[in-house]
Amino acid sequence: MQPASDSGADGEDTIVVEGKYSIQDKDVVGRGAYSVVKVCTPLGSYLPPGSRPGMKYVVKIIEKEYLISLAKGDVEMAMAEIKREIDVLRHIPPHENVVTFLEYVETEKQFLLFFEKVQCGDLCELILQSSSGKLAEEKSKQYTYQIIKAVLHCHLHDIIHRDIKPENLLVSEDDKIKLTDFGLAKRSRGVCTGDAPKDPLDVTALMMPYVGCERLLGKRVVCSDVIGTPRYGAPEMFYAKFTQTHYDGFNADTWSIGVVTYITLSGSFPYSPGSNATEKEVFRTIMDTPLPKPSSISPLAWDFVQSLLNKDPSKRTPLYAALNHPWLADVVVQRGSVVAAQLRASAISADVEAAAARFDEEARRLRLCMAKLQGEVAALREEQDRAAETQAAPDDAQAPARRAQTPNGLSRPRTTRSPASTAVRVSSPSRGATMRHRTASRDSSSNGSVPRRPSLTRGVRGRSPLARSAGGAAVRRGTPARAGGTTPVRSVTPSRAATATTATAGGRSGSAARTAHT
C-alpha cells in the first residue's frame, strides 16, 4: 500500500498515510544518508501510540530502493538492517531523556518511522553557540546526569547505543537532554530483562543510586566489531578487533559519555588522532597520549572525567556507580525509601507523610555513607596499583623497548611515532562549506565507497570541529552507510541571535532543525 497524495490549498502536496497522518511533502526538516524527515500531523481524532498532550510529530521516510543500493543489491541485508533498528526502537520503554518512537508503517517502496518532535537544537549546537566554546561546569553537570540516566535506561533494557556524541543528544525547550539516533544500537535479549524480579527490600537493590541497576552487576554485552564514531570509541573496541577478541558494550558506552563530558567542560576532544586517521592510529593516540587536563576545571570534575576515561576497562567506573561521584552530588535526585513509598501508597495523612519523610532521610544518609565507602575502597585500590607499578618499574627500565599498556592489561611495543595534537577547539568552527559525509564499512575502517545520494537543494554549513568527530565516518555494521544519519543543511555557524532551532527525529533543516532520532 502506498501513501495517498492530495494537493492542498497552498499548492503543496499533502500525503496521507493509512488514514492516520497527513504529511506536507515540502515541509522537510532534515535529510539523512538515505532518509528524509518531514513534519506530520495526526488526522482527525487519531492519537498516535505513546503520544503525550501537546506533542508534535515528525516522520522519517526511508526509500527501500536507495537502501538496497547501499547494500549493493543485497535485499535481505538491507531489510534486516532497518528492521533491526526498528526492533531496538520498539523495545525501549518511554523515558524523559530518550526521544519517543511512536510507530512505523511499511509500504511497498518505503519505511515510515514516526517520532516526537523536539523543539530545540542538539548539544553540539549548544557548545558552538557558547562564547567560550564550552559549557559552564554546572550546566555540564546537569546534562551529564541526564545522559547517564538515558543510557542506563537503555542498558537496563538490553540496549547498547554505540554512537553517543553531542550530535545525538538533543536539548528540549525545558532544557532536558534527549538521547537519539539508534541506527547503530545493538539489542542483546535477556541480558538484564531476563533476570527474575528482585525483592524490593533486597539490600543490593536498595543501595543502587538508580532503580534497577542491581541487574547490571556482573553483566556485559559481548561485542567484537568497531562501530560508531571513532573519536568517541573506547580503546578496547579497537584492540578487540586487532586481536580478534571481544569487549563489553556497556563499558564502551561509558567511555563515550566520558568523552562527551570532557568536550562540554573543555571545548576540545580528549584525544585527536586526525580526521583521516586509521583505527590503529586512533588506538595508538589514545594509548600513548596522557589525558590532557582542561584549564579552569574543578578537581571534582577532573576526577569524574578521569574515572570514565580510564583506558583500562576493568578499572573504569561503572555507569551506575558514576551517579555516586561527589561531582554529581548536587544534581542527582536521590532515591527515596522503599518503606516510605509503601506508607504513602497505603494512606495519606500528616503523620504518615512525616514518617515517610524520616524514612527517606535515613535512606539518603545510608546511600551517601555507602558511596563514601565505595570511594575509599577505590582510592585504596588505586594506591595498591601505583605501588605495584612502582615495584615493576626497575624491570621495565631494562626492557629493550618502551611498552604501553593495552586495555586488557597486556603490553605492546610502542612505536616512535608521535601522537597527533589533542587540542581540537569547538569554539572556532571551520568556515568551509564542506558537507559532512558519513561512510562506513563492516568491521573495518571507513575506507569503503558508498553510492552518491541526491544533492540537497538547500545550502550546506561548514564543518564544525565537533562534526570532525566523525573522523570521516560513523562505522556501521551491515550496510555501507549509516541508517538515518543526517546532514545538517545550514550555511552559517549558529549564534545566540539566530532563529530558534528545531530538533526532530532525523536531521537539521536550514534553521538548524535536528531530528529526534537517527
pLDDT at res. 482: 36
C-alpha cell at 189: 535479549
| Residue 86 and residue 494 in contact, taking contact as beta carbons nearer than 8 Å | no
pLDDT at res. 166: 95
pLDDT at res. 2: 57
| Residue 41 and residue 508 in contact, taking contact as beta carbons nearer than 8 Å | no
Q: How would residue 429 be classed by pLDDT, with cut points 50, 70 and 90?
A: very low
CATH fold of 4-116 = Phosphorylase Kinase; domain 1 (3.30.200)
DSSP state, residue 119: -
β-strand partners of 58? 39, 115
Better-scored residue on pLDDT, 198 or 429: 198
For residues 294-320, average pLDDT: 95
Q: Which residue has the cell 549548544?
A: 126
Closest by CA to 444, choosing from 130, 246, 272, 225, is 225
pLDDT at res. 466: 58
With b meaning 16 or more CB within 10 Å and e meaning fewer, what string describes 131-142? eebbbebeebbb
Alpha helices in 210-278 (DSSP H): 235-243, 249-266
DSSP state, residue 408: T
Closest by CA to 257, choosing from 157, 156, 175, 140, is 140
Q: Which residue has the cell 543528544?
A: 169
Domain 123-330: give its CATH architecture.
Orthogonal Bundle (1.10)
Closest by CA to 407, choosing from 278, 273, 314, is 314
pLDDT at res. 479: 34
pTM over 0.75: no
Q: In this structure, are strands 186-187 and 403-405 parallel, antiparallel, or unpaired?
A: unpaired
For residues 137-143, average pLDDT: 97
Binding residues: 60
Domain spans in the chain, listed from the N-terminal domain onward: 4-116, 123-330
The number of C-alpha atoms within 13 Å of 39 and in the hemisphere containing its C-beta is 15
Average pLDDT score, the chain: 75
| Residue 484 and residue 517 in contact, taking contact as beta carbons nearer than 8 Å | yes
Binding residues for ATP: 60
**How do residues 322-378 score in pLDDT, each as one tens digit?**
999 999 999 998 765 555 565 556 667 777 777 767 767 776 677 667 667 766 777
